[in-house]
């Protein structure tokens, strides 16, 4: 399945060479969210380890949050991270 990405059109982000920012693209992004949450736990100290179903159905964080407008991902289009 090929996802159709909606990229952010915000001029200040154009200054970040090598990165693109996109909105939530649908069902397949939930798995990315679970993986990111898992990797961030060692830094945040969170004890919650969500499953794919947890991420899809967690109404607590979605009550005042439109996932298709407020969540975005950054994607590197370079093989190496940008920087000096």
> Per residue in 41-61, pLDDT tens?
888 888 888 899 988 887 666
Query: What is the structure's pLDDT at 1?
Result: 46
Burial class of residue 10 (count of CB atoms within 10 Å of its CB; 0-12, 13-18, 19+): exposed
Domain ranges of the chain: 1-60+71-84
pLDDT band at residue 65 under the 50/70/90 scheme: confident
State pTM to two decimals. 0.63
Query: What is the structure's pLDDT at 83?
Result: 53
3-state DSSP assignment of residue 74? strand
């Amino acid at each position: 399945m090929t996802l159709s990405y909606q990229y952010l059109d915000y001029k200040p982000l154009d200054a970040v060479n090598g990165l693109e920012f996109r909105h939530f693209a649908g069902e397949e992004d939930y798995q990315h969210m679970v993986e990111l949450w898992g990797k961030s736990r060692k830094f945040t100290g969170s004890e919650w380890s969500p499953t794919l179903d947890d991420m899809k159905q967690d109404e607590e964080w979605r009550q005042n949050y439109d996932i298709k407008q407020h969540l975005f991902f950054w994607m590197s289009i370079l093989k190496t991270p940008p920087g000096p």
